[in-house]
Amino acid sequence: MFFRISLIVMSLLVLSSAIGVVSSRHESRKLFVSLQEMQEQRDDMNVEWGKLQIEQSTWATHSRVASKAASQLGMLVPKTENVRMIENK
């Protein structure tokens, strides 16, 4: 009788352990897939960030700023004779 109860209890423990292993493996795979998706998203964002940095540096070049200042604001570089140096004492 004791042997039979022990066998049933041990069988239930082995079965529950097997279910736990399957469940944890499944969860592990889901998390790994999620990790891969997030890494791909990170890589895409890094590429976009690089493109935005290049675009920003293009928009901020000295020649472009000077061109826009002249065309839109009417600003010009002063002639040498119109420049005065002020000393701060």
pLDDT tens profile 65-83: 888 889 999 998 889 998 9
In terms of DSSP H, where are the helices of 1-89? 2-59, 62-73
Which whole number is the average pLDDT over 50-63?
91
- Residue 19's domain comprises 1-49
Q: Can you state the percent helix, strand and coil of the chain, rounding each to 5? A: 80, 0, 20
pTM across the whole model: 0.58
Residue 37 sits at the vertex; the CA angle it makes with 43 and 20, to the nearest 5 degrees, is 145
**Structural domains in the chain (count):** 1
Better-predicted residue by pLDDT, 2 or 34: 34
Residue 3 lies in a domain: yes
Residue 67 lies in a domain: no
Residue 29 lies in a domain: yes
Residue 69 lies in a domain: no
Residue 38 lies in a domain: yes
Residue 76 lies in a domain: no
Residue 27 lies in a domain: yes
Which whole number is the average pLDDT over 39-58?
96
Residue 16 lies in a domain: yes
Residue with token string 């119109």: 82
Q: pLDDT tier at 16 (50, 70, 90 boundaries)?
A: very high
